[in-house]
Chain A
Amino acid sequence: MAAAEPAAIALDDATVAFRLADSRLYTAVEKARLTVANGEFVAIVGPTGCGKSTLLNVAAGLLKPASGQVAIFGQPLTGLNRDAGYLFQADALFPWKTAIDNVAIGLEITGAPQQHARQRAQAFLTSVGLGGFGNRYPHMLSGGQRKRVGLAQVLIRDPRILLMDEPFGPLDAQTRQIMGNLLLELWNADRKAVLFVTHDLEEAIALADRVVIMSAGPSARIIGDWRVPLARPRDISEVRMEKEFHELHREIWSVLKDEVMKGYAQSSEVAEAV
């Protein structure tokens, strides 16, 4: 990490609050301080409902923090983050466009000629292993395939930052591993800055350079930051066998466990109150 180079993402005491329906103020995230260096892969892990996605939306410019600063490559963020590609948790493909059109649209809206955009889109579809599926509509693809198209859709714009909101959450265990390896492979090619949100600690350690832990909400805080000492390139399924992996996992889990229990207790309290 060169000191002179500004961080890809820098959150400085960012607090995010929402006005609830009964006009009470709900603080989702409090004074979050987080930097992601250029080329660094950072994973945020936390209990359900702790505001991980909120933090990601702040970095994307989709949400404005109530207080605190957001800087992207040293520039204060105003409006949407034009340097970032966002892979959403829910299905975000345009259902009325074929796979190849879904990927090509990222270039077409910048005014690239259609012919060129489609050629590039075909190349990206091939790189995510869907070269022969360009003419399928999203509903004709499996969940994993849709995520691959989503990845291609985001990557074709060549963003300097990748924001990922539990992108593999809805997939089955095997598909998640395959997608994880695919992501690492693609990331390894040009090492973009990545902010990856997940609730799966194992996934976080296997993928990331740094793992950041958030406390249970409301007023969630960042309570831990670990560097992952595993060598790259990694294979997701093999890296889990290593000793360092287990040690780090035990260490982080001892902190995370309490928060998970807290989050669980709160959500059941809410359920009882309802």
Chain B
Amino acid sequence: MSRPVLLLCQFAVAVVALALWQFFATVPVFGKVLLPPFFFSTPIDVAEQIVKWFSTGTIWKHLVITLWESILAFTIGSALGVLVGFWFARQPRIAAIFDPYVKMVNALPRVVLAPIFTLWLGLGIWSKVALGVTLVFFIVFFNVYQGVKEVSPTVLDNGRMLGMNDRQLMRHVYWPSALSWMFSSLHTSVGFAVVGAVVGEYLGSAAGLGYLIQQAEGIFDVAGVFAGMFVLSAFVLLIDYGVTLVERRLLVWRPVSTEGRG
């Protein structure tokens, strides 16, 4: 299938789905509207809502907040994950001692931490950042840990035979290996940063995309809920595209682009 045909088909799917939605929400079939607008809204109402958000500019504030929270959560979570992952991988004894606790915390569904974070850090962005950090941290941590552990012994011996000292081995062997594992899980960890931000906002906040959806839901504004969801998907797609660009730049030395190992 050529690219234009593929794009056309993909576009057709959206058109058909939206048309069916609009049809069943407005035209009665056998005297009954199958998708009552009160519960399902209509594509036109949703589109109007989105246009209104962007034309009045109210959406930007929320988008910027969510973006900020995601970036902070990703940066802090990654930094901590790299540090601790490195530390544990180089100190097996420390790793062994903390192992059950790491597993325990990782097993915990992170959503339950949201109220605690709200209590500790308030309704501002930091409680959302904290939630995102707990999600991102473990992805990065496990990948970096694995990356340092699974450095090829031959490559390591080669480094030593070439005369590298411990610091140089760190810089030229362990570090690139760990980073490559971290980058290969970039999609997953960035995705989780956004999840942390949005879920946090949804559970209690004064701004952000999650807040927008939650507010609309509170007043049975279904069009607002759907509009929020569409904006959120577009937002995530854009970020994901950005990650793909970064990844292509950073992992040029990889034979094939690997899926996230998160």
B160 contacts A80, CB within 8 Å?
yes
Of the candidate stretches B47-55, B119-127, B150-158, the one touching chain A is B150-158
B180 contacts A96, CB within 8 Å?
yes
B162 contacts A60, CB within 8 Å?
no
Query: Is residue A92 within 8 Å, beta carbon to beta carbon, of the partner chain?
Result: yes
**A residues less than 8 Å from B165 (CB atoms):** 109
**B residues less than 8 Å from A93 (CB atoms):** 155, 158
**A84: contacting residue among B161, B164, B168, B254, CB under 8 A:** B161
**B residues less than 8 Å from A82 (CB atoms):** 163
B interface: dominant SS: helix
B110-165 CB contacts (< 8 Å) to partner A:
152, 154-155, 157-165
Q: In the complex where A86-B158, A92-B154 touch, is A97 in contact with B163 (Cβ < 8 A)?
A: no
Query: Is residue A90 within 8 Å, beta carbon to beta carbon, of the partner chain?
Result: yes
Q: How far is the CA of A139 from the CA of B255 in the complex (A)?
A: 6
**B residues less than 8 Å from A157 (CB atoms):** 162-163
Q: In the complex where A88-B154, A94-B176, A97-B253 touch, is A106 in contact with B160 (Cβ < 8 A)?
A: no
**A residues less than 8 Å from B155 (CB atoms):** 91-95
A90 contacts B162, CB within 8 Å?
no
**A residues less than 8 Å from B180 (CB atoms):** 96
B44-87 CB contacts (< 8 Å) to partner A:
none
Q: From residue A42, how far is it (CB to closest CB) to chain B in Å? A: 19
Query: Is residue A85 within 8 Å, beta carbon to beta carbon, of the partner chain?
Result: yes
Q: From residue A45, how far is it (CB to closest CB) to chain B in Å? A: 22
Query: Is residue B32 within 8 Å, beta carbon to beta carbon, of the partner chain?
Result: no
> Which chain A residue lies CB-closest to B169?
A109
A58-116 CB contacts (< 8 Å) to partner B:
60, 62, 80, 82, 84-86, 88, 90-98, 105-106, 109-110
Query: Is residue A15 within 8 Å, beta carbon to beta carbon, of the partner chain?
Result: no
Contact-residue bracket for chain A: 20 to 34
Q: Which of B152, B158, B159, B252 has most chain A Cβ within 10 Å?
A: B158
**A residues less than 8 Å from B90 (CB atoms):** none
Query: Is residue B199 within 8 Å, beta carbon to beta carbon, of the partner chain?
Result: no
> Which chain B residue lies CB-closest to A82?
B163
Q: How many residues of B contact A (CB 8 A)?
A: 22
Contact with B along A132-157 (1 / 0, CB 8 A): 00000111000000000000011001
**B residues less than 8 Å from A138 (CB atoms):** 253
**B residues less than 8 Å from A80 (CB atoms):** 160-161
A85 contacts B252, CB within 8 Å?
no
B253 contacts A137, CB within 8 Å?
yes
A85 contacts B161, CB within 8 Å?
yes
Q: How far is the CA of A213 from the CA of B158 in the complex (A)?
A: 26
A139 contacts B254, CB within 8 Å?
yes
Q: From residue A18, how far is it (CB to closest CB) to chain B in Å? A: 15
Q: How far is the CA of A83 from the CA of B252 in the complex (A)?
A: 34
Contact with A along B169-181 (1 / 0, CB 8 A): 0001100110010
Q: In the complex where A94-B172, A97-B253, A139-B255 touch, is A106 in contact with B154 (Cβ < 8 A)?
A: no
Q: How far is the CA of A196 from the CA of B127 in the complex (A)?
A: 62
**B157: contacting residue among A92, A95, A98, CB under 8 A:** A92
**A residues less than 8 Å from B177 (CB atoms):** 96
A91 contacts B172, CB within 8 Å?
no
Q: How far is the CA of A95 from the CA of B181 in the complex (A)?
A: 13
**B residues less than 8 Å from A88 (CB atoms):** 154, 157-158
Q: How far is the CA of A138 from the CA of B154 in the complex (A)?
A: 15
**B residues less than 8 Å from A95 (CB atoms):** 155, 253-254
Q: In the complex where A88-B154, A92-B154, A139-B255 touch, is A109 in contact with B161 (Cβ < 8 A)?
A: no
A–B complex contacts, Cβ < 8 Å, 9 sampled: A80-B160, A85-B162, A86-B161, A88-B158, A97-B172, A105-B172, A138-B253, A139-B254, A154-B162
List 10 other contacts, CB 8 Å, given A85-B162, A137-B252: A60-B161, A86-B161, A88-B154, A88-B157, A90-B152, A92-B154, A92-B157, A96-B180, A109-B165, A138-B253
